[in-house]
Structure 1
Amino acid sequence: MMRKLACAVFALALSLGAIQAYAQENVIEEIIVTSEKRAENIQNVPIAVSAYDQESLDALLINDAMNLQFNVPNMMVSRYNFSGGGSVRLRGIGSGAVGSAGDSGVGIHFNGLYLNSSRLFETQYFDVERVEILRGPQGTTYGRNTTGGVVNMISAKADTTEMSGGVTANFGNYDSREFEGFINLPITDTFAIRVAGQYQKRDGFIENAHTGDDIDDRDLFAVRVSMTWEPTEDTSLAFTFQHFEEDDKRTRSQKQACNRDPSGFLGCLPTGEMSYGPANGASTITGELFGTIGGILNGGIQTLNLFGYGLPIPGMFPADDFINSDTPQDPRKNNLDWTPVYKAEETMISFEFTHDFGNMTLTSITGWHDPEVYSEEDYEKSVASENWAAQLQALATLAAVPALPAAVAPALVGGPAEGLIPFIVELAPGLGYGLWAGNPALATYANGVPLLMPDGSVQSFNTAFGYDQSTSDPEQFTTELRLASNFDGDLNFMVGGFYMDYESEAHYVVRSTSLALIGQILPANPFLFPAPFGDPNNPQDEVNPHMQGYDNDTREYKLKTWAIFGELYWDISDRLSATIGLRYSDEKKSSKQRTCYLTFLQCGPFDPEGQSGFFFPSYKDDEITWKANLAYSVNDDLMVYGTVSSSYKSGGFNPISDSDQLVIDDPSNAVFRPETITAVEIGFKSTLMDGAMRLNGTMFYYDYEDLQVSKIVDVTSLNKNTDAEILGIEAEMLWLATPNLQLSFTGSWLDTKIKDFTDYDTADPNGDGSTGGLIRCNASVFLDTSPNGCGAGRIPGVLISQNGNELAQSPTLSFNVGASYQVDTGAGLILTLATNYYWQDSFYVRNNNAPHDKVGSWDVWNASARLSPSNATWYAEAWIKNITNDDYVVQQYLSTQVSGLFTNQFLLDPQTYGLTVGLNW
């Protein structure tokens, strides 16, 4: 099949060379890119690359990365379930591994500077010179984590030749206000400064029915200062400072979906139709442990009554706290008792030095990057319908009665109340109280369960209530040095070196009243109800673990990596050229981290520095990647090329210690291996009809070894490796059909296959949608054939072959068609009418390819009408996005068994429209 497709592509390319050009005035403007780290016409670069300048971005209504994907073949950008920003994939490759040591397969660059953690997918594009998207592995010139490709955003530089400026104002529905502006000031003939800024504020896309407020709003701004100094004709220095801040109610996901399991075993069933609502709480860790404390509470009171206490029996805690919760079925409405909080900051500084020696050019790029993000969100995405008033009052009542005398204990031994002795019998003769009976600390539960709040205060609740906190605080230093020749002969070269020092801290905490109550009143707590200590807003200073439920803490993740690389360019003839590249990369990763599943059991209760439970994994590897490319110019308007290349992405350690049951069961689970790719790509680039049409096409084949994949097991990420194959075709066309009419098309076809990999499905342990023959342990599910239950040798599910399954997030087909038409109004004004339509095929969100993993096909249709004078000094534009106002699900995330296997969903933005006015000088 590969040979047939290759022949078809080359036959098409050769036929294009035979097309007879015809004279016409309209010619597509030339695009200059630096995709090979040297300035070239995009049509002369033998790489699949798309590029958009600020004018093109505005015309296509692309103001952020989410909208960029609609115009780039085989590009997918989506929100992310955690606080790591957006997720970008090219040709099905992106962030396969989850955790501190996991990396993206798409390299994100700002002005050529590699960013290990970026907020570029949350900010708006403003004052952009160009955005370049390189599809396919870039294992030599870009190197690190580019198995899928590269996205490089290049900001506008300060210009020493003339003063210029511009401002735009945008007003739309959802009370949206956006303002952008820049001013370029040449201070001298050799020095200039450019200042640009952007501000956005709008109401939320989602209504919180519980409070009547809206959420998922935006309130952010960014400012950039650029300076250029050209002390000589051969030397230039460019400095860029950029700062971004956000403080709003952005949500990490919009809705929670589930096909509720009535049996309460799985929480959400892996079959049948999903609706919006919470999982069956009986399946969660809360439901499981509440059965335990409810039994102790009721059994203890019944036993005390046998001795004449006469206390009311409260009944059991609710098996499902959300059984009657009101969950709106409108995808744009939620019912939340916790309002999201989202705060982010990002500072970038870059310095680029270039000196031309005549036949060689030296370039140095150095940068510092400091992004931070903090978020809070309602964990259950629902308001509990049941309350614990009777049970909590019973606990408070126990505080007021004396415990049974110690002398009674022998009479209870061997009977049904033996396990209740520590709770209702005095702990020592004459003490007068047990863990519960007679303990005055229980009196506070008449007011509810105390829970630590993000501001350090403690509030009490008598219902199930929980929220999570996610923080990330990385810092990066990067430098790259390149020397490129510019000889008159047939041979040229480029050599360089790269170094990055990256450190990060991340903290994810779930605090809930249910787990807090369990941790506070069960004897795992050696001293009941200690007050919170430490600073709850500082991840370095641990708080009382009995007031939370889950803690994933990465204190000191460190990454040091360096590389040397080079490419040789050989003009074999006037029409045939070759490129050979080589890169050596070396990486070292280390961390101090822990994951406390039930913090009251696994995190020390008296550990103010939060040192208990940490482990110190490390990982290192190195790799040589290479590239060989041939490009042939059939004529001045047609080039065909072929490339064979390799690339790699470093492996790492999973966020589990050697003592974790997952590692005990399978020691290979401690780490995941590096992924490597061998890629074959052929393509053509053509300029037809005397420059009126640009038509490019690419076909590629990837052979992946140890592709990194991930799933959640026992509330932690488990990253593994699989082999895979990817085959694809891409096309891009831009045609000035007449001087007034422009037509565009991008299309892609992708065929992905997993090879020789078996795994079990955490959402469907039996592999057939049934729940029979399963057992539970701390809310995790295992086959009843597990020889030791929760211990070693446990069997988490039936192994199912994934051989031939599609890779996650890899739609088979996608395309975009667009048109713009200019009308001369006769009054010196030009009216430009534009529209574009994007369609994407269905895809799976997990490699299991289960029915609930499938996201259906979706589309989006946008349009605009712009009025401006012929000199374009000002413009006014009316625009509309998502004309049909569809509420498509564009991404999903499956939660854990202990949370009930609910699915978080991410939605396409609703219909937005507005008016933009701009002024340029």
Structure 2
Amino acid sequence: MMLPVAIACAIQGVSASAQEEVAEEQGAIEEIVVTVNRKEQKIQDVAGAVQAFDQQALDAMGVGADFTALQNVIPGAVISNQEGNVNVSIRGVGSADNTELIDASVANLLNGVYLPRARGIGAMFYDISRVEVNKGPQGTTRGRNAVGGTMNIVANRPNMDGFYTSALLEAGGDALQRYELMANMPLTDTLAVRAAGFMRKQDSQYENAGQPGLEPAGAIDEQSLRLSALWEPSDALSVYAVYDSTSEGGTGYPGLNYFPALDNGYDVSDLGDDAQTGIFRAWQGEVDSSHDGFMVQVQYDFGGVTAEYMGSSREVDFRQTNAANDGVFYPGVELGSFDNFGGLWWITQSESQTHELRLSSSGDTFEWAAGVFFFDEDQQSLLLSTADNSFCCYSATEYAMPDVQGESLAFYAEATYHLNDESRLTAGIRSTDEEKSRWGVAGNYGFAAPLQPDWSTGTQSLRWATQGFQYDPFNGNRGDYTVPDISDVNDVAAFMSAAVERWGDSDNLDDVFAQCLGEDTSACPAASLSLNGTTLTQQDGYYEDSFVDYRLGYEWDLNDSSLVYGNISTGHKSGGFNDTIIVQGEMLSNAFSPEKLVMYEVGAKNEFENITFNASAFYYDYTDYVMTQLVAVGPVVDDQPPPTSAQRRNVGEASITGLELSSTWHINDNWHIGGNLLFLDAELTKAEISDYRQGWGANPNVDISGNKMPFSSDVNLNMFVSGVFPVQNGQYDFTLSSSSRSDYYLSAFNSQGFDSEGNPTSLDMTPINGSVGSGDGYFDEVEGYTLFNLVAARHFDEPNVRVEGFINNITNEIVSTKAIMSPNLNLRFMTNQRTAGIRIKYNM
């Protein structure tokens, strides 16, 4: 009867599979222990809004191994995946940016260790004890960039209980395959090791209406291995070490431009099955990513004081060739030429270390903890966007950064004083120093070469980065990365060519360079070769800042079953600097300050014989709110989105008010129901941004005060019902779960238009490069929806086998979870389609 208890516990923030005994006669819940406050507590004893899900509950509620599907079980959460970076928003607080210059607003953790780059985290979702979700700023307890909360993946530890193994096999729609293996092996009475492996494959859920033979973006190919060891030679000493290695392949992360469809009157809901049909061309999408890490945790109890050291080293190597496409397919769209290899390439390489030393002590009257945290990261990053078949004057945009440094040092302390047996006061403080720097080159390449029509290729346009093209700006050929003289075509051509590992099969730009530069230009096929629109600039950024966070809390045990509490806590997200860009001949560069969020919260937790009920009322005061704006740094050519630079700016202030309720009811040993309900009012109270949708050199400042914060729904409801039906040698059981959200917006514009002077107007009258009539392509409202997931199972006691059938997203609701906007661009990332399959679990 473990499954319904696991589901009920997940709704309340507890889980059952880690506990061996359940008081079934009374329908009571055995809570697991979590560590959201850096100490072991039952969740009903945590003074805050916390949820935790074990692997059994994740499978039963339709999450499985899909990290982004956690948004369906966490009220007010939106989780998307762009270029392998997981973007998390909770209660309206999140970051949709994923470059080397910006940090997440919700801190991702693995076994309590901070993950600076969330790439690859989706393939770590196996053999886990639980996923802990702590909502609201965690500036003192978890530290860096936990302004919106934390999500901590806690893997199962080795134990000395004996040798045992488990296996999982899953198959489903779109050729879904998932395999998991685990073995726990005690080597001595004090030493145990554990090995776990994971593989998941699935064809893309997108369709291709473009060039035949191309597989759409979205195909999954993930593998992961985790090895861990636990040594406990005495009651005082514990050493825990983990090595993990993850690789991701497939066709890359899908995003389609909905601007043309929206401009022609077709919203996502109007397109039906075509909502995930793209016009793919030329480049086959491909991702090649690895994420490796090692961590060690050493704890020693000196008798009254416990010392803990936690260290981690991680390496990420992410490379992606985007699946080139001309947007979503919609009725009446005209298909262009597929012989267009304009493409997009990404490289992110990261090496990071974290070190933390912590001392703590607990007693009947006074508890305290103090520590120091250090984080260091070295990165290299590339974004290359190319134009094929160009004549003049835009050839590519490159952001190549060979040296990106980030460092954080923090000191913290926290103490809890027991006023009496029923009430406690908690206070904490954390001082943080942040430092960032970056060196590299960014900007546009613009080569103007009027080719002769009788040249050997028979074309009058420049071609480069066609099939077979390979580019690596970190191959060592560029020396110290000093920007070339952008008035000298020879310097610029040499600088760009130094990063070309292989010219494309249909390229002619390499021949133009060879024949039109140097002393002998008699064979030059062009009347001339010159620079026009080249804006390469040196990127030499530096940022440092310091800030202090604090936490104050009060807890009162009304009785053995009820807790009331109040909290005031703060969180900061580090600031930074922006790209240096040239717009209309002017060089622009600006820094942005840290975000600050102050949370005021009161709540209650109640656990009775067969009913639990929790409530949390909260108010967030959000200042120096940062938004990322894609500022055009080049012209629009043939109605295609122009080259852009992501500029981050402190746009103003926001307030978030909410009430979260959760409850479970164990009706009897066979039936259980429960749910979470979140009411949320997230508003930009004072905010001004540039309308970067309007195009190159326009971008008037507009007032968006009073608009809703992106991704925030007024009403969020998660529910479940589960049943258990005992039979000989086991049981039948099922879980039906749902996730409902009211309308929300994908951007701070809230589908509002502005004219060239910044005055409000209808969306269709928003000008794009001076022309009006196409602004409807910026529509960004998502209608409310409800998702349903169903799992039905037969469990056999002997042998210990469980067979599950599942249908995720029963009604096939396809909705947008993220949008990226710039002139002629409304790039959408979507939820998964309906998937049905079977899952077999075996434990020995």
TM-score by length of 1: 0.72
State the one-letter code of the partner of 1:31: I
> Does structure 2 conserve the Cα–Cα contact (< 8 Å) formed by 1:169 and 1:916?
yes
Map of 1:487 onto structure 2: 363
Pairing 1:450-469 to 2, within 5 Å after superposition: 463-469=339-345
Relative to 1, partners in 2 of residues 1:364 and 1:386: Cα closer, same or farther, differing over 3 Å? closer
After TM superposition, give the deviation of residue 557 of structure 1 in Å.
Answer: 1.1
> Does structure 2 conserve the Cα–Cα contact (< 8 Å) formed by 1:99 and 1:655?
no
State the one-letter code of the partner of 2:560: D
- Distance (whole Å) between structure 2 residues aligned to residue 84 and residue 865 of structure 1: 32
After TM superposition, give the deviation of residue 84 of structure 1 in Å.
Answer: 4.9
- Distance (whole Å) between structure 1 residues aligned to residue 831 and residue 335 of structure 2: 30
State the one-letter code of the partner of 2:192: A
Pairing 1:198-347 to 2, within 5 Å after superposition: 198-209=198-209, 210-212=211-213, 214-215=215-216, 216-253=218-255, 255-259=256-260, 273-274=265-266, 330-337=274-281, 338-347=283-292
After TM superposition, give the deviation of residue 353 of structure 1 in Å.
Answer: 0.3
Map of 1:584 onto structure 2: 431
- Distance (whole Å) between structure 2 residues aligned to residue 75 and residue 359 of structure 1: 40
After TM superposition, give the deviation of residue 492 of structure 1 in Å.
Answer: 1.6
Q: Can you list the C-alpha shifts for 1:724-756, whole angstroms capped at 9, x where unaligned?
A: 111111122222111111112012111111122
Map of 1:508 onto structure 2: 383
- Distance (whole Å) between structure 2 residues aligned to residue 119 and residue 98 of structure 1: 10
Map of 1:550 onto structure 2: 397
- Distance (whole Å) between structure 1 residues aligned to residue 243 and residue 231 of structure 2: 15
> Does structure 2 conserve the Cα–Cα contact (< 8 Å) formed by 1:663 and 1:670?
no
Q: Note if 1:879 corresponds to 2:803.
A: no
Q: Secondary structure at the match of 2:280?
A: coil
Map of 2:79 onto structure 1: 77
Q: Note if 1:637 corresponds to 2:522.
A: no
State the one-letter code of the partner of 1:341: E
Map of 2:551 onto structure 1: 627
Pairing 1:762-911 to 2, within 5 Å after superposition: 762-763=692-693, 765=694, 780=696, 782=698, 796-797=699-700, 799-825=701-727, 827-850=728-751, 852-870=779-797, 873-894=800-821, 896-897=822-823, 901-911=824-834
Q: Secondary structure at the match of 2:492?
A: coil
Map of 1:361 onto structure 2: 306
After TM superposition, give the deviation of residue 889 of structure 1 in Å.
Answer: 2.9
After TM superposition, give the deviation of residue 135 of structure 1 in Å.
Answer: 0.1
Map of 1:567 onto structure 2: 414
- Rg larger for: 1
Deviates more, 1:48-57 or 1:110-119: 48-57
After TM superposition, give the deviation of residue 248 of structure 1 in Å.
Answer: 1.0
Q: Secondary structure at the match of 2:432?
A: strand
After TM superposition, give the deviation of residue 887 of structure 1 in Å.
Answer: 2.7
Map of 2:392 onto structure 1: 518
- Distance (whole Å) between structure 1 residues aligned to residue 827 and residue 178 of structure 2: 29
After TM superposition, give the deviation of residue 79 of structure 1 in Å.
Answer: 2.3
Q: Note if 1:478 corresponds to 2:365.
A: no
Map of 1:771 onto structure 2: none
After TM superposition, give the deviation of residue 385 of structure 1 in Å.
Answer: 5.0
- Distance (whole Å) between structure 2 residues aligned to residue 155 and residue 662 of structure 1: 53
Pairing 1:662-701 to 2, within 5 Å after superposition: 670-688=590-608, 690=609, 692-701=610-619
After TM superposition, give the deviation of residue 251 of structure 1 in Å.
Answer: 2.7
Map of 2:39 onto structure 1: 38
Q: Note if 1:716 corresponds to 2:645.
A: yes
After TM superposition, give the deviation of residue 151 of structure 1 in Å.
Answer: 0.5
Q: CA RMSD in A?
A: 2.5
> Does structure 2 conserve the Cα–Cα contact (< 8 Å) formed by 1:84 and 1:472?
no
After TM superposition, give the deviation of residue 916 of structure 1 in Å.
Answer: 0.8
After TM superposition, give the deviation of residue 696 of structure 1 in Å.
Answer: 1.3
Q: Secondary structure at the match of 1:122?
A: helix
State the one-letter code of the partner of 1:809: F
- Distance (whole Å) between structure 2 residues aligned to residue 159 and residue 660 of structure 1: 60
State the one-letter code of the partner of 1:863: L
Q: Secondary structure at the match of 1:330?
A: helix
After TM superposition, give the deviation of residue 194 of structure 1 in Å.
Answer: 0.2
Q: Secondary structure at the match of 1:123?
A: helix
Map of 1:185 onto structure 2: 185
Relative to 1, partners in 2 of residues 1:731 and 1:595: Cα closer, same or farther, differing over 3 Å? same
1:616 to 528, 533, 540: 540
After TM superposition, give the deviation of residue 757 of structure 1 in Å.
Answer: 2.2
Map of 1:407 onto structure 2: none
- Distance (whole Å) between structure 2 residues aligned to residue 328 and residue 57 of structure 1: 28
After TM superposition, give the deviation of residue 762 of structure 1 in Å.
Answer: 2.6
Relative to 1, partners in 2 of residues 1:870 and 1:733: Cα closer, same or farther, differing over 3 Å? farther
Q: Secondary structure at the match of 2:57?
A: helix
State the one-letter code of the partner of 1:695: F
1:496 to 353, 371, 385: 371
Relative to 1, partners in 2 of residues 1:843 and 1:663: Cα closer, same or farther, differing over 3 Å? farther
Q: Note if 1:117 corresponds to 2:117.
A: yes
State the one-letter code of the partner of 1:820: S
- Distance (whole Å) between structure 2 residues aligned to residue 61 and residue 472 of structure 1: 31
State the one-letter code of the partner of 2:377: Y
Q: Can you list the C-alpha shifts for 1:395-452, whole angstroms capped at 9, x where unaligned?
A: xxxxxxxxxxxxxxxxxxxxxxxxxxxxxxxxxxxxxxxxxxxxxxxxxxxxxxxxxx
- Distance (whole Å) between structure 2 residues aligned to residue 863 and residue 662 of structure 1: 58
Q: Note if 1:371 corresponds to 2:373.
A: no
> Does structure 2 conserve the Cα–Cα contact (< 8 Å) formed by 1:491 and 1:568?
yes
Unmatched runs of 5 consecutive residues or more in structure 2: 1-22, 449-485, 500-534, 633-643, 753-778
- Distance (whole Å) between structure 2 residues aligned to residue 902 and residue 379 of structure 1: 14
After TM superposition, give the deviation of residue 892 of structure 1 in Å.
Answer: 2.1
Unmatched runs of 5 consecutive residues or more in structure 1: 1-21, 261-267, 277-326, 388-460, 520-545, 766-778, 783-795
Q: Secondary structure at the match of 1:61?
A: coil
The structure richer in helix per residue is 1
State the one-letter code of the partner of 2:577: F
Q: Can you list the C-alpha shifts for 1:595-637, whole angstroms capped at 9, x where unaligned?
A: 2133549582222667973221100000111010000010010
After TM superposition, give the deviation of residue 501 of structure 1 in Å.
Answer: 0.6
- Distance (whole Å) between structure 2 residues aligned to residue 465 and residue 752 of structure 1: 42
After TM superposition, give the deviation of residue 871 of structure 1 in Å.
Answer: 7.0
- Distance (whole Å) between structure 2 residues aligned to residue 377 and residue 858 of structure 1: 30
After TM superposition, give the deviation of residue 676 of structure 1 in Å.
Answer: 1.0
- Distance (whole Å) between structure 2 residues aligned to residue 78 and residue 31 of structure 1: 29
- Distance (whole Å) between structure 2 residues aligned to residue 96 and residue 174 of structure 1: 28
> Does structure 2 conserve the Cα–Cα contact (< 8 Å) formed by 1:97 and 1:708?
no
Q: Can you list the C-alpha shifts for 1:224-246, whole angstroms capped at 9, x where unaligned?
A: 00101112221010110111111
After TM superposition, give the deviation of residue 465 of structure 1 in Å.
Answer: 3.3
Q: Note if 1:604 corresponds to 2:505.
A: no
Relative to 1, partners in 2 of residues 1:815 and 1:141: Cα closer, same or farther, differing over 3 Å? same
Q: Can you list the C-alpha shifts for 1:58-85, whole angstroms capped at 9, x where unaligned?
A: 22232222221211122211122xx251
2:326 to 370, 376, 381: 381
Q: Secondary structure at the match of 2:85?
A: coil
Q: Secondary structure at the match of 2:44?
A: helix
- Distance (whole Å) between structure 1 residues aligned to residue 174 and residue 101 of structure 2: 39
Q: Identity over the aligned pairs, expressed in percent?
A: 24
- Distance (whole Å) between structure 2 residues aligned to residue 813 and residue 654 of structure 1: 35
State the one-letter code of the partner of 2:793: R
Relative to 1, partners in 2 of residues 1:256 and 1:745: Cα closer, same or farther, differing over 3 Å? same
Q: Can you list the C-alpha shifts for 1:471-528, whole angstroms capped at 9, x where unaligned?
A: 111111001111110234x11200011001111111111122134x436xxxxxxxxx
State the one-letter code of the partner of 2:749: N
Map of 2:667 onto structure 1: 737
> Does structure 2 conserve the Cα–Cα contact (< 8 Å) formed by 1:98 and 1:717?
no
TM-score by length of 2: 0.79
